[in-house]
Amino acid sequence: MTEPANSSYDWKYLIYQPYKWLIFLPLMIVNSILFATLAALCALLISAKAGSFMGRCWARVCCWITPVKVFVKGKAQIETGKSYVIVSNHQTIWDIFLLYGYFPTDFRWVMKKELRKIPFIGYASEKVGHIFIDRSSPRTAVQSLEEAKRKLDNGISVVIFPEGTRSGQKEMRPFKKGAFRLAFELGFDILPITIIDSYKINRSGFFNLMPGRAGLIIHPPVNTHLFTDKLEDLVSYTREVINSALTD
């Protein structure tokens, strides 16, 4: 369950409100328009990787202006030049900024198609090469994942939130199996990541914010070849790994 509010939190929340509306929100709008435009231009004129770099800059600025102090543990678990299916718990929308801004190698998001409609950001995401998926159509979803296979090479990974939606709390929802099936099909290892305390930054609704500290814990890769024909075991094991950092 979400941690209950306390008087200290209430006072901090009230003090933060003028900053949020008068400074954070205008900066967030300008930041998003600026870097989405730069990302699209870089992707069109230079490369998708250059566009993705602009996306990373956008995400970091989002954290800076909140402000969120970010920590990352376990970078040594990542093998340079290797592609992974990255799976993570999903607490709030701030998870996107944490992963995009601070995960140390290039990746593509699997995103629901509705996000393509977000002004500037949706167009930039398409040009950078992020993968849009129609959850309501299994056939279209399969086609999107086939497209993903063509985009993931030379150390480019893919990020999927197997809970399917934000939990809004420390505890995780059940995992769906799509990310793990994709890992089998691609022959990629699973790279589990635990997102820590983003639910304390963004408690409910995009604008219900508090500055604070949040981060990523990168776990050792999971060799999918050890789980051949054991999809349920792979899902269960990966979930346990991610959850282990939430219960420490």
Beta carbons within 10 angstroms of residue 87's beta carbon = 28
Beta carbons of 163 and 173 less than 8 angstroms apart: yes
State which residues of the chain have pLDDT below 50.
1-4
pLDDT at residue number 2: 45
Q: How far is CA 31 from CA 36, 59, 121, 183, 205, in A?
A: 8, 9, 11, 34, 20
Two tokens at 108? 């593509």
Domain locations along the chain: 7-244
pLDDT digits (tens, 9 = 90+) for 160-194: 999 989 999 999 999 999 899 989 988 999 999 99
State whether residue 189 is helix, strand or coil.
Answer: strand
pLDDT the model gives residue 111: 84
What pTM was estimated for this model as a whole? 0.91
Domain 7-244 homologous superfamily, CATH: Glycerol-3-phosphate (1)-acyltransferase (3.40.1130.10)
